[in-house]
Amino acid sequence: MSRLRSPSLAHWGAFTAVTENGRLVACEPFGPDPEPSAMLASIPEMVHSPLRIRRPAVRKGWLDGNRERENDEYIEVSWERALALVADELARVRAAHGPAGIFGGSYGWSSAGRVHHARSLIRRFLFQGGGCVDQIGNYSWGAAQFLLPHVIGGTSPVSGDVTDWDSVLGNTRLIVAFGGIPVKNSQVTSGGAGLHNLSGWLQEAQARGIRLVAITPTRADIPEGSNADWIAIRPNTDTALMLAMAHTLIAEGRHDAAFVATHCTGFERWAAYLRGETDGQAKNAAWAAAITGVPADTIRALARDLATQRSLLTAAWSLQRAQYGEQPYWAMIALAALVGQIGLPGGGFAFGHASLNGVGQPRRLVPGPEVPVPRNPAQLAIPVARITDMLLAPGAEYEFNGEHHAYPDIKLIYWAGGNPFHHHQDQNRLRSAWRTPETVIVHESWWTPLARRADIVLPVTTPLERADVGGSSRDPYVFAMHPAIAPQGEARNDFDIFAELARRAGFYEAYTAGRDIDGWCRHVYEGMRGGCAERGVTLPPFDEFWARGYAEVPPPERPYVLYENFRQDPAAHRLRTPSGRIELYSEVVAGFGYDDCPGHPAWLAPTEWLGAPAARDWPLHLLTNQPRTRLHSQLDPASLSRAGKVAGHEPVALNPDDAAERGIRAGDVVRLYNARGACLAGAVLDPGLLRGVVIMATGAWSDPDGDLDRHGNPNTLTADVGTSRLTQGPSAQTALVQAERYAGPAVGHRAWEAPVLRPA
Ligand SMILES: Nc1nc2c(c(=O)[nH]1)N[C@H]1C(S)=C(S)[C@@H](COP(=O)(O)OP(=O)(O)OC[C@H]3O[C@@H](n4cnc5c(=O)[nH]c(N)nc54)[C@H](O)[C@@H]3O)O[C@H]1N2
Ligand SMILES: Nc1nc2c(c(=O)[nH]1)N[C@H]1C(S)=C(S)[C@@H](COP(=O)(O)OP(=O)(O)OC[C@H]3O[C@@H](n4cnc5c(=O)[nH]c(N)nc54)[C@H](O)[C@@H]3O)O[C@H]1N2
Ligand SMILES: [Mo]
């Protein structure tokens, strides 16, 4: 028997791949990792799953010109035939419609390995081949991405370095976390995690007597074993709470007027709104109590606590993944400005302390490994989450960040490395929109809900079947990924598929840049190594790195404090806002004239929340959080994710009183529904959940029957509306639903089945 071991990496952690006779049998966690993710165990099962796509396949109906892309049979074809079809379709659509006819944004997480990062590769291929319609922004923090530059001149408190845990542990007395600190989310980071140390930092914080206040609708967002205070809040109402804390500070003369005078602009205009001078409503604690469900005394006390000791405000990314999601982020920055600790050790604000692994990880600012994606010569892109709007209404006009645009008319969709049939809101609306293009091409390793809606499906290798280099800018390591097993079935690498298509279209040299995969692994590593050298950090040469399996970037010499320079000298370290300061009121945003995103942080009642008229018909607020047992829809068919299902469906958590009112018991099959659709779920009763709120994780592979999803993808129920005209992000957390005990005949689901496959 041959037993081999080789280094590898996934978004949820680094590991040693153990193979026996050419099969992956185990993934042993990376030695230095203090808290490896249980998801590593799902990899061998997935790599050898019967759901692997073995051969290129063409949808039967597509050959007859039908666009009903569901439940169809597939005809397995040779690579030669599949590549010819793809090359011809691309050429045909390009000639007839130009780049505006091809949608290649291909949003999705792809793999942790950066050479084979499918979304980068497909965009590199389509951009070099003449361009396409791209997607800009992301589902993760899409509202923040386009709001924060107006407010603080960049996105670093979300995407870059935040005040690190060393600074927090040494200085902070109070951490106020909107959305809590759900440690399960810190299992993953895009590009892969070497160290999982959030639990360690939280334990250390508790040991040092640092108080943690978690403001969230569910106790499940409080770390296990923590003595955190829980403030239960109605979903989508955090802005009202923050405004009331700001109002309290101003009314009691506790705000830092000096910091506001030297580092902020627009205070007077915002304060006038808070005092009610612009709309007759003071945003005081009593007002906020009625909206949020948090007692007025609690709000006032928390405001005082923020101002009287070293405090850190943090918010989960989920808060801005909601209608008017700009407001809680802007309000929290403005509140932190009034508290006046921005730029002090352990003080101020940041976002996403448990939204991804590595947020607050002490580390040096060095580049990660990356494959370059050139400019899109077509200069066409839609805001990422407006895909269904685009497909349903070509030519329709929309607004975005002060600009006017019109949607292109898409004839061909090409996707590699994402799954819109998990990630997009209002799945039934997307399903109808999916009938509009002439052709859909997908690269996948498994028969996912997206692959089963493609016309041409090309089977690709998993990271275990190819050489790569991976790493995240949030992690101190860069990892070598050795091929552990042979490509399964006829799978090919995305890189090789695009290289071959580029050859047929006449730009092979440009696409490959003259490098094979080994050459690219060296190139991206050397790129990172060079960037490190410029910053005084020495990484070993490639061959040494490759043989060892990883290289480490040493920790910084002193703790990092976000906005330290700006605090010390705001004139010399101007923010990249028009005023160079923190904008509590933005002339630019106000100038856009958007009623859904005014010139300062404001309470705007969402269309769907527990205080809305719609709550009479749909009395439960559905939150769709990140799954504990998988990465989005990745790994859903593996044992770990399956073990979490209830009665064969994705679990939904309900407050026991909400359940009792509906005759729902633990373990029952529940039908969740609203005007957009319905899905089945398995009931879990949770007394730690605010009444009126139900929570279901994203990522179950869907199995639709009419407008009912028989498995439990909550995006059957979510609303497909932009966060605002300013940012057009996804509003996944804004959805009202009703729940009932499912009384129909027992239904299983067929989400984890491959389609019927026929030989050519
Ligand atoms: N309701 C609701 N919806 C949400 C969210 C929410 O909070 N609520 N969250 C949103 C967020 S933040 C995100 S980031 C998105 C995530 O959405 P996605 O990133 O689209 O979700 P994944 O399931 O990770 O899909 C990645 C797909 O890429 C495939 N893949 C992996 N590696 C490779 C490769 O090397 N080559 C190819 N060709 N394919 C590969 C995987 O098999 C998988 O099918 O979901 C969003 N959707
Ligand atoms: N295990 C695992 N981890 C993941 C992922 C995964 O798929 N699996 N996905 C990763 C990705 S792509 C991303 S973008 C991040 C996302 O990170 P987040 O957006 O932070 O994650 P969520 O789980 O959506 O939300 C965190 C918590 O916010 C709370 N919450 C929701 N709405 C509100 C609200 O209106 N007010 C308040 N106060 N709280 C609210 C919910 O209770 C929820 O549990 O997670 C990453 N981490
Ligand atoms: Mo995300």
Residue of 198, 218, 314, 355 to mutate, ligand 2, most atoms within 8 A of C-beta: 355
- In a shared domain, residues 357 and 316: yes
478, containing H or E segment: strand 477-481
DSSP 30-73: PTT-SS--GGGGHHHHHHT-TTB--S-EEEHHHHTT----SS--
Taking CA atoms only, the protein residue closest to ligand 1 atom 3 is 423
User: Counting atoms of ligand 1 from 1, which one is nearest the CA of 416?
Assistant: 38
- What confidence tens digit (pLDDT) does each residue in 330-343 have? 999 999 999 999 99
| The predicted structure's pLDDT at residue 194 | 95
Q: Which ligand is nearest to the CA of 419?
A: 1
d(CA 449, CA 754): 10
pLDDT in tens, 547-564: 999 999 998 999 999 999
For residue 176, tell me if it sits in a domain: yes
Q: Letter for the amino acid at 704?
A: P
Pocket-testing residue among 187, 215, 318, ligand 2, by greatest number of atoms within 8 A of Cβ: 318
Amino acid 363: pLDDT? 85
349 contacts 332 by C-beta, under 8 angstroms: yes
Q: What is the pLDDT of residue 473?
A: 84
* Residue 434 annotated among the catalytic residues of the structure: no
Give the confidence band of 169 by pLDDT, cuts at 50, 70, 90: very high
The span from the CA of 751 to the CA of 678, in Å, is 16
Classify residue 481: in a domain, yes or no: no
CA 372/CA 120 separation, integer angstroms: 8
Q: Say if residue 248 is in the same domain as residue 183.
A: yes
> Which residue is closest in CA terms to ligand 2's atom 41?
179
**Type and span of the H or E element at 443:** strand 439-444
Residue 189 and residue 333 in one domain: yes
| Distance between Cα 77 and ligand 3 center (Å) | 35
User: What CATH number is attached to the domain comprising 100?
Assistant: 3.40.50.740
The domain that contains 696 carries what CATH number? 2.40.40.20
**Ligand 2 atom at shortest distance from the alpha carbon of 233:** 38
What is the whole-number distance in angstroms between the Cα of residue 242 and the centre of ligand 1? 32
Query: pTM (2 decimals)?
Result: 0.98
Beta bridge partners of 679: 672, 709
- Residue 486 maps to a domain: no
Instruction: Give mean pLDDT, residues 692-713.
Output: 97
Sign, CA torsion 646/649/655/656: negative
Rounded to whole angstroms, the Cα distance separating 562 from 573 reads: 12
| Residue 157 in this model has a pLDDT that exceeds 90 | yes
Look at ligand 1, atom 37, and give the residue with the nearest C-alpha. 417
For residue 366, the model assigns a pLDDT of 86
* Domain assignment present for 385: yes
Distances (CA, A) of 80 to 56, 87, 500, 666: 9, 11, 11, 53
pLDDT-based confidence at 160, cuts 50/70/90?
A: confident
Q: 686 alpha carbon to ligand 3 midpoint, in Å?
A: 26
Please report the atom of ligand 2 found closest to the CA of residue 632.
7
For ligand 1, residues with CB inside 6 Å are 108-111, 116, 118, 139-140, 321, 416-419, 422-423, 425, 443-446, 448, 460, 494, 624, 631-634, 698, 714-715, 718, 732
Q: Which of 470, 467, 446 is nearest to 457 (CA)?
A: 446
Tell whether 333 and 300 lie within a shared domain: yes
Q: Residues of 680-704 as b/e, b for ≥16 C-beta within 10 angstroms?
A: bbbbbbbeebbbbbbbbbbbbbbbb
Contact call for residues 175 and 223 (beta carbons, < 8 A): no
For residue 544, being part of any structural domain is answered with: no
Q: Count the domains in the chain.
A: 3
In which band, very low, low, confident or very high, does the pLDDT at 497 lie, cut at 50, 70 and 90? very high
Do 356 and 374 sit in the same domain of this protein? no
- Note the ligand closest to the C-alpha atom of 420: 1
Show Cβ contacts of residue 668 under 8 Å, excluding neighbours closer than 6 positions: 647, 682, 683, 741, 742
Asked whether residue 501 is assigned to any structural domain, the reply reads: yes
Domain of 106, in residue numbers = 57-130+368-473+494-518
Task: Tell me: pLDDT of 386 over 90.
Answer: yes
Interatomic CA distance for residues 760 and 755, integer angstroms: 15
Catalytic residue among 12, 62, 74, 107: 107
Q: How far is the CA of 423 from the centre of ligand 3 (A)?
A: 9
Q: Are residues 304 and 177 in the same domain?
A: yes
109 is catalytic: yes
Tell me, what's the pLDDT at 745? 83
In this structure, the answer to whether residues 206 and 241 fall within a common structural domain is yes
Is the backbone of residue 570 left (phi > 0), alpha (psi -120 to 50) or beta? alpha
Q: How confident is the model at residue 367 (pLDDT cuts 50, 70, 90)?
A: confident
Answer yes or no: do 259 and 324 share one domain: yes
CATH code of 164's domain:
3.40.228.10
One domain, residues 112 and 186? no
Domain contains 682: yes
Average of pLDDT values for 422-446?
A: 98
Sheet of 757-759, strands arranged across: 380-383, 133-136, 102-103, 412-416, 439-444, 456-459, 57-59, 74-76, 757-759
What does the pLDDT read at residue 365? 83
* Tokens of residue 40, six digits: 């590593």
pLDDT band at residue 626 under the 50/70/90 scheme: very high
Q: Active-site residue among 12, 62, 74, 109?
A: 109
- Do 636 and 706 lie in one domain? The reply is yes
Beta-carbon contacts of residue 409 (< 8 Å; ≥ 6 apart): 97, 100, 101, 394, 395
Residue 320 has pLDDT above 90, yes or no: yes
The answer to whether the CB of 266 falls within 8 A of the CB of 602 is no
Identify whether 64 is part of a domain. yes
- CA atoms within 13 Å, Cβ hemisphere of 627: 30
Q: Indicate if the pLDDT at residue 161 is higher than 90.
A: no
Ligand 1 centre and the CA of 244: distance in Å?
37
Task: Please check whether residues 94 and 164 belong to one and the same domain.
Answer: no
Task: Calculate mean pLDDT across residues 632-644.
Answer: 98
**What would the mean pLDDT of 422-434 be, rounded to a whole number?**
98
Pair 349, 264 in one domain: yes
- 358 CA from centroid of ligand 3 (Å): 15
Q: Is the predicted pLDDT of residue 1 greater than 80, yes or no?
A: no
Q: Which residue CA neighbors atom 3 of ligand 2 most closely?
A: 185
Task: Cite the DSSP H helix spans in 620-738.
Answer: 639-643, 656-661
